[in-house]
Amino acid sequence: MQAAVANGVDGIVAECGGSCVCATCHVYVEPERFGEVPPATEDELELLDGVKAERRHNSRLSCQIKAAPGLTGITVTIPECQT
Amino acid sequence: MTNAGPHIVIVGAGQAGLQAAEALRSSSFDGQITLVGNEPHAPYHRPPLSKAWLTGELDAGQLTIRDTSVLVRKKIDFHPAVSVSAIDVDARTVLLGDGNRLNYTGLVLATGASPRPLPLSEGVGDAVRMLRSREDADQIAQGLKDCIQRGLPLVVIGGGFIGLEITASARKLGVPVTILEAAPRLLERALTCDMSRWYADLHSSRGAELIFDARIIKIAPSADGITEIHLNDGRSLQAGLVVAGIGVRPNDALARAAGIACDNGIVVDECGRTSNPDVVAAGDCTVRRLSDGTMLRLESVQNAVEQGRSAALALLGIEQPFLGTPWFWSDQYDKKLQIAGLSRGADAQAIRGDMAGNSFSVFHFRADRLIAVDSINAAKDHMVARQLIAGQISPTVEQVRDSSFNLATLRARPN
């Protein structure tokens, strides 16, 4: 999320600035690499219940995905809407 | 700086101003955009200033919303550290503090709000701090460090969100805190009595001292950096740092001087339009006139983001009213409060979960209709609440109280 927001990627709203309270930084993680991303906390799963766009099996809140060397090159897709 | 083509000037480079600028760029507008901010920084997140920024858990990069380079790439002409001294709506010009003049075809006012000054703090200089800007936060952070070094306490004046968040941050750092609240309870304007008590217990359990119905009669700073606060009941407190958080005032002076209608904020409609057809406004500086004539002031990130966009689009003649369910959050210690809707005028409450436990929500009803939900560590309740309130769907009190009942089954399917 930080990377998307700092670089002004349209479609990542992140109203709460990464505090895991707003569900406006929803992304779809590329399915093949979904398992490489550390799992979501219960808080995040509960927020994902309320995302505006369709929730899919590979839905995540990007503020909860920390960039790490192991995730180099991973692709996430931005949903149609956040709010 | 005259330009023949369309030129939208945005006064205020906080969240609302930034959103307005980007909404213009994301839409059809290809004219000139000038974003003027009186602070020396690129747009940054304000909410962490009372939390992770104070405790040193965030770096400057994480605080920044958009790097200046992004603004350049989006052809947003950003002028930091520039104040605006006047607006001439007839000539359609903005007079800058540096003497320059900007001609505009459309103007966005996103001037924010300022902390309400403490009546007794006149003449005490820096002895009483307030928090709005990054500089304010840096000074408070330094004050907390000094408190730690000298073993002195922090005194917080005002038991509202800002004061309580600063309290939580200070307690995390090990600084003793006393909160002085003029009302008989915390967060009186925002929460129910039960919730106020819950927050009082929370802060007490983390070692903060709370004094209610506090009447300060004198604030006496001394040369050694210790400030003495005298209360009308004879008590006096010594503080290494005093921070006051007693509410904000919308920055509407520029608009008022320009003849734009203001009423404790720049009066806007649901699209951010002001009384002047060339001028829109967004964020903390505004007050919205609702369809029933009542006035609504929201001070939240959501309002800044959504109104910023609506207002910018309104200048282009695009109607995209901000009608979403208001929401707000506050992090204190490990407790996450999320508020959906507006609870004013509520006539009944029902609690879901256990207030003595880790997670619960207070559902507010007016005439059996759900109008607001305050959730503590209950993100699921909050998200469902936002959807239910937006869809005007009300659960029964029994459904709310029955934690085995899935409230999400009530919501209209998203289209």
pLDDT tens per residue, range B317-361? 999 999 889 999 999 999 999 999 999 999 999 999 999 988 999
Say what angle helices B15-26 and B301-315 make with each other, to 10 degrees.
40
Question: What single DSSP character describes residue A33?
Answer: G
CA gap B287, B297 in Å, rounded: 5
pLDDT given at position A16: 87
Which residues are CB-contacts of B269 (< 8 A; sequence separation ≥ 6)?
A: B288, B289, B321
pLDDT tens per residue, range B231-253? 999 999 999 999 999 999 999 99
Percent of chain B with pLDDT over 90: 91
Four-point Cα dihedral B360, B366, B371, B373, nearest 10? -10
Rg of chain A taking only CA atoms, in angstroms:
11
Q: Is the dihedral of CA B192, B196, B199, B205 positive or negative?
A: negative
* Confidence band, pLDDT 50/70/90 cuts, at residue B415: very low
Please determine, for residue B23, whether its predicted confidence score (pLDDT) is greater than 60: yes
3-state secondary structure labels for all residues of B6-63: CEEEEECCCHHHHHHHHHHHHCCCCCEEEEECCCCCCCECCHHHHCCCCCCCCCHHHH
Strands B286-289 and B266-268, bridge-based pairing: parallel
pLDDT given at position B3: 52
Helix (H, G, I), strand (E, B) or coil at B389: helix
Alpha-carbon gap: B414 to the closest alpha carbon of chain A (Å):
8
pLDDT less than 70: residues of chain A: none
Beta bridge partners of B267: B287
3-state secondary structure labels for all residues of B130-144: CCCCHHHHHHHHHHH
Q: What is the ipTM of this complex?
A: 0.87
Helix (H, G, I), strand (E, B) or coil at A6: helix
pLDDT tens per residue, range B279-299? 999 999 999 999 888 999 999
Q: Is the pTM of this model over 0.80?
A: yes
CA gap B84, B88 in Å, rounded: 11
Residue found under tokens 């619960």: B360
pLDDT given at position B17: 98
Look at A8 and B66 and tell me if their CB atoms are within 8 Å: yes
Which residues are CB-contacts of A62 (< 8 A; sequence separation ≥ 6)?
A: A1, A4, A12, A14, A25, A26, A27, A76
A-proximal residues of B, 304-363, CB under 8 Å: 305-306, 324, 327, 329, 331, 336, 338
Interface residues of A toward B, Cβ cutoff 8 Å, are: 2, 5-8, 10, 13, 15-23, 43, 46-47, 49-50, 52, 54, 83
* HSE-CB of B384 using CA atoms within 13 angstroms: 21
Beta-sheet strand order (sheet of B295-296)? B266-268, B286-289, B295-296
Look at B329 and A21 and tell me if their CB atoms are within 8 Å: yes
* Confidence band, pLDDT 50/70/90 cuts, at residue B413: low
Please determine, for residue B208, whether its predicted confidence score (pLDDT) is greater than 90: yes
CA gap B115, B109 in Å, rounded: 18
pLDDT given at position A2: 85
The residue type found at B404 is S
Residue of B133, B130, B135, B131 whose CA lies nearest to B119: B130
Alpha-carbon gap: A36 to the closest alpha carbon of chain B (Å):
24
Look at A17 and B47 and tell me if their CB atoms are within 8 Å: yes
> Residue A21 is nearest to which of B336, B384, B408, comparing CB atoms?
B336
Average confidence score pLDDT of chain B: 95
Residue of A42, A5, A19 whose CA lies nearest to B331: A19
pLDDT given at position A15: 86
